[in-house]
Chain A
Amino acid sequence: MTRDQLTKKLIELAGKRFERDTSELAAADDFFEKLGIDSFQAMELMTDLEEEFDIEIPDYELQGVNTFEKLAVVIEARI
C-alpha cells in the first residue's frame, strides 16, 4: 500500500467513525479541528486504526500528529 493509498484509507476510517462525508476531508486537514474530536474520540480512532491494520500505536508516537498525512507516516512505519 502506498502512502497515498494509506492516507485515503485513514480518511475513509475517520469518515466512518465520525459519520462524515469523506469528500469533506483532505490529507492535509487538521483532523482534530475538522472533525471536532475530543480525547475520548481520539482514543477511539486510535483503537480503530490498531484494529484495522493489526498494529499497536503507542500514544506518544501520535503526539503532535494532527493531519491524515502525518498519521499515515506513523502507521506506515508499523505495518
Chain B
Amino acid sequence: MTTTPNTPSAPSAPSDATVARANSSSAASTSEQATPNVVPRATRIGAWQARLLGKRVLRGLVSELEKRTGIAIPKPGPKPAVTRPVPSASFDGRALRWRLVDNAAGKHLEVELHRLPCNEIGTTALEELELLATFLHAGAGGARAMVLWSSSPKGFCAGADLRELYTALMSRYETEGRSTRTKLAVAHEVRGFVDRIHAAFDTIDMAPITTVGAIHGFCFGGGFELALTCDVLVADKSARFAFPELRLGLVPGFGGIPRLKRDLGNAVVRDVLFTGRSIGAARAYEVGLVSQVVPRGNALEVARKVAEQACRFDAQTTARAKAFTKPLPREELAREKDLFVDMIGSPVVEAALRKFVESTSVRPYLP
C-alpha cells in the first residue's frame, strides 16, 4: 500500500487508522449513527458495507474455528506504520520526472509529465503524483515555484486512463460475476483511488508556492482537473480544454468541477460540462482560465519566466496570499467524490467505457 501525503489542509486517503476504525463494527456503527448527515446515505452505506462485510465474515470464521478447536487464535496486532522516504530533489519515474532548477531569482521545481501517448492518469501516474505531493508537502527542496508541463507531443494530459479502468472492471466482473457484493467491492476500490487522487491534487493545489501549468494540445478530463490545481496557466495556441465525462455517464471525479467553479464560476462549468465541447486557448483566455496565450511550443519557456518572477517575492508572503486567494472548496470536493463513486457502477458507464475503448472515431470523447 502506498502512503498518501497527509496534510492538515488536504483530505487524506484512508489511513491505517481510518481502516482500523472502519474494521471495528461497533466503532463504525457508532460513528455512522452519530453523523448521519455528513455523507449522502447511498455512498455511506456503500463504503460501510463493503468494509464490514469482509471483516464480519472473517470474524465469524475465526470464532467458529476457536470454538471447534479450543485454540485461541491470537488477534493481529496493530499494523506497522507504512513509511515512505520523502522523494529527493530529482526524480525520474514512469509517468513523471522532476528536478530543481536555479533561475535568476531563486529556485523552482520543474515537473514533466512524460507518459505516452498523452499522460493518461492511471495507477502509475497516481503513485508518482502522490510522491510529488509528498515532496511538495515536505518543502519541495526549497523551491519557491513549480512549473508543471508535458513533453508529450499530443498535449498536456488526455485525462484518466480509461483503458486501464475498463480492463480492470471487466477482469473483475469476469472472475467474480456481477453480484451486489462485487459491485460494492468495485465501488470501494474506486473510492480508494479517487480519495488518493483527491489527496494528491489537493496537496498540489494548496502547496504554499506559486504553481504554473504550461499547457499545449489536449487538456481533457482528468488532465484539465490536474491543470486546475495550478495557480497560473500559460497556454500555447494548440491547447484545448474539455470535460467530456458526461459522454461516459459520469461527472469529472478528480476535483475539476469545484476547482473550475471556484476559479471561474458555474456558467463556465455548465458550458463545458453539458456540451462536452473543447475550448481553445483564445476562449480559455477570454473566460480567465489561462493568464497568457503564447505561440505554439512556447508555453514552457513562458511558464519558466512566470516561475522566476514568482521567486522574487517573499516566500511567507506568497504562502499567505495564496491561502487567502485560493481556498480549497472542501465541501464540494467531498460531494463530487460521492457523486462520482455513486455513478461508476452504472450500466451506462460500462457501455460508454466499452464504446470509448473500442472506438476508432477521431472524436471519441463525444457521444
Q: Among residues 49 to 69 in chain A, which have CB atoms less than 8 Å away from a CB atom of chain B?
A: 50-51, 56, 58-60, 62-63
A58 cross-chain contacts in B, Cβ below 8 A: 275, 277
Q: How far is the CB of A37 from chain B (nearest CB, A)?
A: 7
Q: Are B363 and A59 in contact (CB under 8 A)?
A: yes
B282 at the interface (CB under 8 A from A): yes
Q: Which of B155, B275, B283 contacts A40 (CB 8 A)?
A: B155
B 60-79 to A, binary, CB cutoff 8 A, 1 in contact else 0: 00000000000000000000
A47 at the interface (CB under 8 A from B): yes
Q: How far is the CB of A13 from chain B (nearest CB, A)?
A: 14
Q: Are A63 and B363 in contact (CB under 8 A)?
A: yes
A62 cross-chain contacts in B, Cβ below 8 A: 363
Give the total number of A-B pairs whose CB atoms are below 8 A apart: 48
Q: Which of B240, B275, B279, B283 contacts A60 (CB 8 A)?
A: B275
A60 cross-chain contacts in B, Cβ below 8 A: 275-277, 366
A18 cross-chain contacts in B, Cβ below 8 A: none
B203 at the interface (CB under 8 A from A): no
B211 at the interface (CB under 8 A from A): no
Q: Among residues 253 to 292 in chain B, which have CB atoms less than 8 Å away from a CB atom of chain A?
A: 275-283
B149 at the interface (CB under 8 A from A): no
Known: A47-B238, A47-B280, A59-B277. A38 touches B362 (CB 8 A): yes
Cα-based distance from A58 to B242 in the complex (angstroms): 11
Size of B's binding interface in residues, CB under 8 A? 24
Q: Are A63 and B366 in contact (CB under 8 A)?
A: yes
B282 cross-chain contacts in A, Cβ below 8 A: 50-51
A38's nearest neighbour on chain B, judged by CB, is B362
Q: Are B283 and A59 in contact (CB under 8 A)?
A: no
Cα-based distance from A51 to B295 in the complex (angstroms): 12
Q: Among residues 101 to 129 in chain B, which have CB atoms less than 8 Å away from a CB atom of chain A?
A: 118
Cα-based distance from A39 to B240 in the complex (angstroms): 12
A66's nearest neighbour on chain B, judged by CB, is B362
Known: A32-B362, A39-B362, A60-B366. A50 touches B280 (CB 8 A): yes
Q: Are B278 and A37 in contact (CB under 8 A)?
A: no
A42 at the interface (CB under 8 A from B): yes
Cα-based distance from A43 to B238 in the complex (angstroms): 9
Q: Among residues 1 to 52 in chain A, which have CB atoms less than 8 Å away from a CB atom of chain B?
A: 32, 37-40, 42-44, 47, 50-51
Q: Are A40 and B218 in contact (CB under 8 A)?
A: yes
| Besides A47-B280, A59-B366, 11 other A-B contacts (C-beta < 8 A) | A32-B362, A38-B362, A40-B218, A43-B217, A43-B218, A43-B278, A47-B237, A47-B281, A59-B363, A60-B275, A63-B363
Spell out B's residues near A (CB within 8 Å).
118, 154-155, 217-218, 237-238, 240, 242, 275-283, 361-366
Give the 3 A-B residue pairs with the shortest CB-CB distance, closest first. A42-B362, A58-B277, A39-B362
